[in-house]
């Protein structure tokens, strides 16, 4: 399956937040109102906090367009690209993928005109990398939608864009099903994608996609990830 879209960024490095808190959030799938309630409940401060989304912002839920527009227009929000965004973008360049996108929840695109469609997909290409390295006081976090595409995060940081790399970042979840394994070259790797009732931890890998199973947005501080990984390391 060839889905490569030119100009998607394979990786982005984000420097430390000098003042506020960095928050991480799992798959949202158009649940704009649920996210806003979660941010309010967490006392999120847009003046100094930042929000990092783990992809799959769109599809299935009631407000995919509204949520995507908000994410793309809000300067304190960044998101990696999920498999749903990847299919959304690919279908705008190659309409053979349009029906495939509909089958995974992309019917909302039928309600927007072609020019808005191309504008949104162009913004996704420009603003959503496949991976992010987030620098924090306690180490670096690797952010990727599905799982790390390599055993060493330094290889992820240096990877060139390819179909294989894009697919490996956004589709498989075998690492979440396998034995505990540490991804080297980074303190922890955080992903979404797998739709579980509880947070899943494997070595220094964490999956925080619980919205579909629980109805609750998974919103955690970056420091919580370091605490989880640190406890697991100290326990062997």
Instruction: CATH number of the domain at 119, please.
Output: 3.60.21.10
* Residue 144 located in a structural domain: yes
In this structure, the dihedral spanned by the alpha carbons of residues 147, 151, 154 and 160, taken in order and rounded to 10 degrees, is: -70
* Residue 3 located in a structural domain: no
* Residue 6 located in a structural domain: no
Question: Which residues in the chain show pLDDT less than 50?
Answer: 1-2, 234-236
What CA–CA distance (Å, rounded) separates 212 from 201?
A: 18
* Residue 1 located in a structural domain: no
**Strand-pair partners of 188:** 141
| pLDDT at residue 93 in the model | 79
Q: Based on the number of CB atoms within 10 Å of its own CB, is 215 exposed (0-12), middle (13-18) or buried (19 or more)?
A: exposed
What CA–CA distance (Å, rounded) separates 208 from 198?
A: 8
Q: Please, where are the H alpha helices in the chain? A: 32-41, 64-73, 83-93, 98-103, 114-127, 153-157, 163-170, 174-177, 211-214, 222-234
- Give the structural domain span for 222: 12-234
Residue 55 · residue 28 · CB < 8 Å: no
* Residue 4 located in a structural domain: no
* Residue 48 located in a structural domain: yes
Domain count of the fold of the chain: 1
| pLDDT at residue 91 in the model | 87
């Amino acid at each position: 399956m060839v889905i490569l879209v030119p100009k998607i960024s394979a990786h982005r490095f984000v420097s430390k937040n000098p003042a506020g808190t960095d928050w991480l959030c799992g798959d949202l799938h158009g649940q704009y109102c649920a996210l806003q309630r979660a941010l309010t409940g967490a006392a999120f401060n847009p003046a100094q906090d930042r929000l990092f989304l783990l992809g799959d912002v769109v599809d299935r839920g009631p407000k995919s367009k509204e949520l995507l527009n908000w994410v793309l227009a809000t300067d304190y929000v960044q998101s990696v690209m999920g498999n749903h965004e990847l299919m959304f973008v690919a279908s705008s360049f190659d309409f053979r993928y349009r029906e495939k996108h509909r089958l995974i929840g992309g019917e909302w695109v039928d309600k927007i005109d072609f020019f808005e469609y191309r504008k949104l997909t162009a913004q996704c290409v420009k603003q959503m990398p496949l991976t992010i390295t987030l620098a924090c006081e306690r180490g670096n976090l690797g952010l990727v939608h599905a799982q790390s595409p390599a055993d060493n995060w330094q290889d992820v940081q240096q990877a060139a864009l390819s179909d294989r790399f894009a697919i490996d970042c956004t589709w498989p979840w075998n690492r979440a099903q396998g034995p505990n394994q540490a991804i080297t070259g980074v303190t922890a790797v955080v992903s979404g994608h797998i739709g579980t009732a509880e947070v899943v931890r494997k070595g220094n890998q964490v999956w925080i996609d619980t919205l579909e199973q629980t109805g609750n947005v998974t919103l955690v501080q970056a420091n919580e990830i370091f605490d989880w990984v640190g406890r697991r390391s100290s326990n062997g």
